[in-house]
Structure 1
Amino acid sequence: MKDLATLIGVAVGLVVIVAANIMEGGNPMSLLLPAPMILVFGTTILVTVAGGTMADAKGAGKSLARAFKGDVAPAAEVVPSIVALADKARREGLLALEDMLKDMDDEFLVKGVTLAIDGTDPEEVRDILEAEVAAKRKEDKHAAKFFSDAGAYAPTIGIIGTVMGLVHVLESLSDPAELGHLIAGAFVATLWGVMSANVLFLPLGNRLKRLGELEAMRMDLVIEGIAAIQAGANPRVVAQKLTSLLPAGQQPLADAA
């Protein structure tokens, strides 16, 4: 399920900034200066790449698309599937679950149930799945760090652009008519540095952290569900246990399912 919170937040945030600029009598086109924009965005991305690895840089594009689409299924949606598996396993045994896996899209759930069907010890199943969750948390942490680092660099890069512009202003003191225009242009770099950090880069970093938390929560729920299935727990007990692990806002969704 796609969540467009980031796309809406960034787009509307920029609209509000432009609207406020117009209300103050400004001209938005005066802010769209190529030189400071290239300096801020180009240098920020490059120094962020320099602080990591090429693998991190290559993964940033994929993470950017994920941040805007936000396609993470709510943890509550997996509860009915686990309860159905628990019911069938209790009535017909673990081997009977194999046919049900063909219609399931959750790869992590399918992997865990397959391990259970193969007769893997419950503790080993938990260790394997928890190791995968830990690896996923690290991956998501690195993805978020790239944009959080960019958000930390951007304002300083903007200040560098402003200082460069002011140096040019001092070189043009002999032409007073141009000073106002040159000073205004110099501060545009600081504007883009601060704005890109707080309207784009930092929100993207926080978004990826949140998506990682949601996905890890869903995976943790699957682990508990598979453990209950292997233990032969009553399906109603499984449903109650998994529902109790959900955040309060998602519990009605799980109950309704």
Structure 2
Amino acid sequence: MDILSLVGFFFALVAIVGGSILKGSGLGSLWNAAAFVIVIVGTVAAILVQTPKPTFQRALKIVGWAIRPPPADGHGLIAQIVEWSNVARKQGLLGLEAQIEQQSDPFLRKGLQMLVDGAEPETIRSMLEIDLETQTHADQSAAKVFEGMGIYAPTLGIIGAVLGLMAVMKNLADPSKLGHGIAAAFTATIYGIASANLVFLPISNKLKSVIAQRGRERELAIEGLVAIAQGENPRNIEARLAGFLD
């Protein structure tokens, strides 16, 4: 669980709701169905037009990483690779066959299978780097979905405000409706700017950082697996892989 994300979303809510109350606008001024439809539904519509279906599906799948990112344990991964290296030195690469089914990560499972099959070190590196590049590109594209929403939302907020002011202009003969109408018009601007800067863009950047961290761990795993294939000393492998850690 990413506590910072939870705290951030909480303070974002406090900033908007608390600011509205302190300014004397009240909670009621923050809700406007028309503004919600124009900004939020419009933003979703724009991103659906922009994004290929597989990318959008991937975005929905990884959005939870902003609050609950995948487990990251670089030290544990290094210890595991060193253990595999010791097994390989004592029992040969075939001794790692029993480790394959124990791996829940398809990436590590594939690397171990290639070791057991006797693939050349450069072949292992090349194939795993292709897998890493493909997965990272897919995940980065998914993270950019929320970046795109953060770009569209403020503009749609302005559109909502303009449409609201157009409605106000039709009631110029009735001054009692002007104040409420103008306030409702600017609610759309709040929706657009707040959703972009407090939700969509922060989620995009958090996802990018999680993806980068996963990429570094995969690079660590590749170096470790290649080193095992080359028959390096376990202590040398551990020392080399330690350089990947912050």
Shorter-chain TM-score range: over 0.9
Calculate percent identity across the aligned residue pairs.
Answer: 37
Q: 1:99 to 1:55 in 2, by over 3 A?
A: closer
Is 1:95 paired with 2:94? yes
Q: Report if the CA contact (8 A) 2:56-2:142 is conserved.
A: no
Equivalent in the alignment of 1:19: 18
Aligned residue pairs total 246
The residue number in structure 1 matching 2:178 is 179
Secondary structure class of the residue paired with 1:218: helix
Deviates more, 1:153-162 or 1:204-213: 204-213
Deviates more, 1:171-180 or 1:70-79: 70-79
Which 5+ residue runs of structure 2 have no aligned equivalent? none
Aligned-pair distance for 1:170? 1.1
More divergent stretch after superposition (87-96 vs 213-222): 87-96
Shift of 1:15: 2.0
The answer on whether the counterparts of 1:67 and 1:204 sit within 8 Å (CA) in structure 2 is yes
Q: Which residue identity is paired with 1:65?
A: G
Post-superposition offset of 1:4: 4.4
Worse overlay, 8-17 or 35-44: 8-17
- Equivalent residue letter for 1:37: F
Question: Could you say which residue in structure 2 is the equivalent of 1:251?
Answer: none
8 Å contact 1:49–1:56 — kept in the other structure?
A: no
Partner of 2:85: 86
2:8 corresponds to which residue? Answer: 9
Matches within 5 A, 1:127-142: 127-142=126-141
Aligned pair 1:115/2:101, yes or no? no
Task: Tell me if structure 1 keeps the 8 A contact 2:120–2:229.
Answer: no
Counterpart CA distance in 2 for 1:24 and 1:189 is 18
Could you tell me how far apart the structure 1 residues matched to 2:126 and 2:118 are? Answer: 15
**Aligned residue for 2:169?**
170
- Structure 1 window deviating more from structure 2 (147-156 vs 75-84): it is 75-84
Q: What is the TM-score of this pair, normalised by structure 1? A: 0.90
SS at match of 1:172: coil
What is residue 76 of structure 1 aligned with on the other side?
75
Which residue of structure 2 aligns with residue 197 of structure 1? 196
Q: Tell me which residue corresponds to 1:250.
A: none
Residue 46 of structure 1, CA deviation: 0.4
The RMSD of aligned alpha carbons is 1.5
Q: Which amino acid aligns with 1:208?
A: L
TM-score by length of 2: 0.94
Q: Which moved more, 1:91-100 or 1:164-173?
A: 91-100
Question: Which moves more between the two structures, 178-187 or 93-102?
Answer: 93-102
Residues 3 and 70, structure 1, Cα contact 8 Å, conserved in 2: yes
Question: Which residue identity is paired with 2:108?
Answer: L
One-letter identity of the residue aligned with 1:156: T
Deviation at 1:165, TM superposition (A): 0.5
Residue 197 of structure 1: how far off its partner (Å)? 0.3
What amino acid is the match of 1:176? Answer: P
Tell whether 2:139 aligns with 1:147: no
Query: Counterparts of 1:74 and 1:14 in 2: how far apart (Å)?
Result: 32
Deviations 1:104-138 (A, max 9, x none): 33331221011011011111111100000000111
Q: Residue type of the partner of 2:227?
A: A
Q: Give the AA of the match of 1:35.
A: A
Structure 2 equivalent of residue 43 of structure 1 = 42
Per the alignment, in what secondary structure is the counterpart of residue 232 of structure 2? coil
Distance between the aligned counterparts of 2:63 and 2:244, measured in 1? 30
CA contact (8 A) 1:72 1:214 kept: no
Distance in 2 between residues matched to 1:72 and 1:85, nearest whole Å:
21
Cα shift at 1:236: 1.3
Identify the residue that residue 58 of structure 1 maps to in structure 2: 57
Q: Report if the CA contact (8 A) 2:160-2:189 is conserved.
A: yes
- CA positional deviation for 1:77: 2.6
Q: Distance in 2 between matches of 1:135 and 1:105?
A: 19
CA deviations 1:60-85 (Å, max 9, x no partner) are 32132333321242333311100101
Change (3 A) 1:109 1:68: same
